Amino acid sequence: MERVLKILFFALVVRPIVFVVLGLNLRGKQNLPLEGPGIVVANHNSHLDALVLMSLYPLSRLHKVRPVAAADYFLKNRFLAWFSKNCLGIIPIQRTGRMRKNELFAGCHEALDRGEILILFPEGSRGNPEELSEIKRGVYHIVHDRSDTSLTPVMMHGLGRALPRGEALLVPFNCDVIIGPQLPEAETGEQLVEAIKASFLDLQQYCITCRQTGDKSQQ
């Protein structure tokens, strides 16, 4: 049932919006992991980010793709919780409170054990539109003793203009989705954070909606 709901939601709502109202300048689609266990690590600008990434997957694989999302936000009321669980299939993370690392990421590990693909935004929250904020260590805690798990960086740009934080009006814009090659295994958390940051900046140069000219303060 969950599976059907998710497929219907993506086929009838998300895909038409992503491909008609928005538009993707997609690069490196061959890098997208279709088989789990794997983690797609992307920068975060908008609620649309996870939807766009998930719409890249064939409908038949969609049930294997799970966005990791903040519990305090996505389980905030009953409707949103039902929607997040059934239409998106999120893995909730408790951002607040003091949980031990193992407990905190238990849901992620279970999903990876089932061969699923996580979508994770290491910046945490959406931040200012189109600005990279600091990358958090969470990813490292998930992958550091799982060498079976692939780590794929994705840089997105433009969605923060289409639907930034605190806005309800979706304005059509094309967006870049640049999928990079798998990241190598990292020894330490800092190393991984650095590798992700470097790969984001590297992928950013392929974004065509990323304007090099023009006054920064106006954007």
Residues near another protein (CB under 8 A): 23-27, 129, 158, 161, 164, 167, 169, 171-175, 208-209, 211-215, 217-219
Q: Do residues 153 and 180 make contact, with C-beta atoms less than 8 angstroms apart?
A: yes
Rank residues 41 and 175 by Cβ distance to another protein and give the closer one. 175
Minimum Å gap between C-beta 163 and another protein is 9
Rank residues 77 and 212 by Cβ distance to another protein and give the closer one. 212
Rank residues 96 and 212 by Cβ distance to another protein and give the closer one. 212
CB count in 10 Å sphere of residue 28: 17
Q: Do residues 40 and 56 make contact, with C-beta atoms less than 8 angstroms apart?
A: no
The upper half-sphere exposure of residue 212, i.e. CA atoms within 13 Å in the direction of its Cβ, equals 5
| Residue carrying structure tokens 């969609």 | 62
- Pairing verdict, β 150-157 and 117-120: unpaired
Spatial distance between the Cα atoms of 163 and 206, rounded to a whole number of angstroms: 22
Rank residues 64 and 157 by Cβ distance to another protein and give the closer one. 157
Minimum Å gap between C-beta 217 and another protein is 7
Minimum Å gap between C-beta 37 and another protein is 30
Rank residues 23 and 124 by Cβ distance to another protein and give the closer one. 23
Peptide bond into 37 cis (omega under 30): yes
